[in-house]
Each structure stands twice: as structure tokens, then as C-alpha cells.
Chains A and B, each alone.
Chain A
Amino acid sequence: MSKQEKHKILLIEPSEIVAAGIKEIIGRFTEFEIVNTLANPGYYNPARMEADIIIINPAVIDYNERFDIRSFFGGENEITAIVALTYTSYEESVLRQYDGCIGIYDTAARIAQKLHTAIEESQLAPKNELNELSTRERDILVAVAKGSTNKEIADQFNISVYTVISHRRNISRKLGINSIPGLTVYAIMNKLVDISDFN
């Protein structure tokens, strides 16, 4: 990234008041720019994402997914840093997933400093294998290949339908396969399911 280029930020925060406040503060720094604000990660679409930093309130992520935030956003290569925005304290194991953590009482200068540190941190951290499916994704792929609906998958894994959709989007993006028949072909060819399940 060249020096003149701004870091583009996606903000995921359910409170409009807080979102507007963060936006105002970030606007004071020339090196950062909020390009999009979402109230809910369900609206997240990696294909249309230009951001390289995500600031997200961990409260909007399902409890089960909080421990695997990178895979939630698909280990996206353009995304350098994922930063938590917290009103309250979280378990250490939750916050460890993030490249940084902004508290609601932080000063503007502190926020900018934390963002810079987060970018540096994330560049040091080992990147996930970008196109390798995570275990959870592989399980969901098998369920999709066997014909389960999103609702059935959500019930089976005890996660929300939003989360299922988000996983499916990541699976499709990683594999480059979108249709259910295509995913089925992939799953059988890679011996994740047996062809005899289909006869």
C-alpha cells in the first residue's frame, strides 16, 4: 500500500449512535476512511468488499463463531486487520482472534494508534491457508452436498441461518463453486461424501 493511499474500513456496529461517533472520529484521520457501515454481519458480501480493515462489535457475531473470526470473514486476502469494537469486557480467548481492540472510552488518538498497531500486528501474524476449507466449512459443505437446507444446517450445528449463509459464501468463494450440484461434485470427487449416498 502506497503512503498516499487510505486504509479502507468496513464498520460493523448495530448502534447507529456509536457508528456515527466512530465515523466522525475516523474522519479526522487522513490515513483512514470508512467506506461502508453495516448493522449486521449477515449483510457482509466479500465480493463487494473494498475494505482492508474491518472494525466489528463482537456482540454481533454468534457466540459459537466468536472463536474463529478470521474464517467468518473468509480469511480474505485483501483484509489486513480485523479489529474489535467493545462496550464491555470479553474473554481473552475471544479477543485474541482480533488484531486489535478498540474500547468505547478510547480517545481519538488512541483509536488511530490502535488501528496502526493492528495493521502491523496482522502483517506479522501467519496468514490462514487462504483456500483451505476450515473444519467447520468442510462439515457444512458435506451437509449442503447431502441436500440439507440452510435451516437444517443451522439447527444441526446450533448456529444462526445468517452464519450458515456466511459460511456457504466463503466455501463458494474458496472453491469457486456456487451451485449445489457443483458442490456435490466437488464433495464426492474429494471423497468428503460417498457417491452411494446419492443412489
Chain B
Amino acid sequence: MSHNEVLYSRRMKTADLIATDSGLLSILQRLGIKLGFGDETVADTCHRYGLSTELFLVICNIFSHRNYEPKIESLDENDIKHITNYLRSSHKYYKEVCFPAIHESIHRLVKELDNVSRRLIDKFYDDYDNEVNIHFSYEENVVFPYIDTLFGKGCKQNNGFRIAKFEENHSNIEEKLNDLKNIIMKYLPEDSAPTLRFQILNDIYALENDLCKHSLIEDKLLIPLVENFENRNE
């Protein structure tokens, strides 16, 4: 991180946070924080929504600062359920906002391509879409429920699942998105849908960046916190 970047703090005004990096608007949206927070501090806003301020700051720092390395020291196991809530709402945001927009553009793009390219891109995107859905539903149906049962509800039946298994199954869905980006940018003929391709690329870059931060939250926060919890409760 370059020396002139200042990390966010709890006493900062929520509005100033957004003024510093408008990209954080989508984080507010995902967390269900409505606009109209006046001159509240970040801590006040989080408190009003029952969110963990520390976690909120870590997430915002991850999104705004390229080389920020999230550490779990400022968090505790109570934050775990807030993390899974955030990840769930993030999935919802991807599925309802980001992917449909890209899908729609790809649909318009392939109409302008020759037969072979159309089939190739269509198939490539459908396979990718499928993979993403499998990835998300695995997390939503296996991983998050497992974490939920770890905490309370007295139910300890987890069929031998451990969070380490999640790490193993954690396939990299970013790879294909990157490939799609390069195919659209570098390898489709110059004259195919020139304007639309710029728009698609912008959308893919934004999504790619977001997914990368999303995995960072899983790998650097969720997994280590749950692992600590598992080890302590063995």
C-alpha cells in the first residue's frame, strides 16, 4: 500500500467514506444500508444496522486498498456470522445485478459474430455461468449451513465436514472470466461489435475485481476464523 493511503476508521463519517471511494456504494447496497445516513460516523451506521464495525471496516479497506492485507486479529468469532451474511448478500448481488448484465451484453454480442464464433462464445459463457452457479450453491448449501451449525443451535451434526474441505473445493472461477475478457479484448475480429465490447469489458473488469476481493474475504477472514473456532472446540 502506498504511504499516502489512509485506512478507514470507525470515527470517520459514512458519507466521507463514500466520498473517498465511491466503489464502496455497492458494499452499502449489499449490506442493506440505506442512503440518508446524514453525518453519522461509520460506527453509528454499523450499530444501527446491527453490523460489526470492525468487519465493515476490514471489508471496505479490502475493497479500496489494493495491497491491504486483511488480518483476523481485529475480529472475533462473533464476526463469522456477519461474514457469511455478507458473502450471501454478495452472491445475491452477483446473481441479480452483475451476471445478468454481462449475460445480456454477451447475448447481444454473439448476434454480431459469425456462426463459429457465436457457438464458441455462447458455449464458453454458458459453461462459465454453470460453473459459477455450482460454486455459489456449494457455498450456500454446504459451507454456510455448516458454519451456521457450528455456532449454537446445539446441532453438531456436520457429517465430518471441516472448513479445510472448503479450501480444497475452492475452485477458481476467476480464471475463465479472465479468459473471456482476453478473448473479447484481443481475439475477436476488430469489427465485431466494437462499442458493445468496450462496455462488456468494463463490466467484466469491475466484476473480476469484485470477485477477487470476495475470495480474499473467504480466504483471509472466513476460513482462518472458522479454523480457529474448529480447533478450539474439538
Contact = CB atoms under 8 A, between A and B. Distances in A.
Contacts of A178: 175, 178-179
Contacts of A177: 179, 182-183
Contacts of A188: 116, 120
B183 A179 contact: no
Nearest to A185: B120
Interface of B is mostly: helix
Given A189-B187, A190-B187, A179 B120 contact: no
Given A178-B175, A181-B176, A189 B182 contact: no
Contacts of A189: 116-117, 120, 183, 187-188
B166 interface: no
A195 B121 CA distance: 13
Interface residues of B, number: 18
Given A186-B187, A195-B119, A175 B182 contact: yes
Contacts of A185: 120-121, 124, 179, 183
A182 B119 contact: no
A27 interface: no
A21 interface: no
Nearest to A183: B179
Interface string A155-193: 000000000000000000001111101100110111000
Nearest 7 interchain pairs by C-beta:
A182-B179, A176-B182, A177-B179, A185-B120, A179-B176, A178-B175, A179-B179
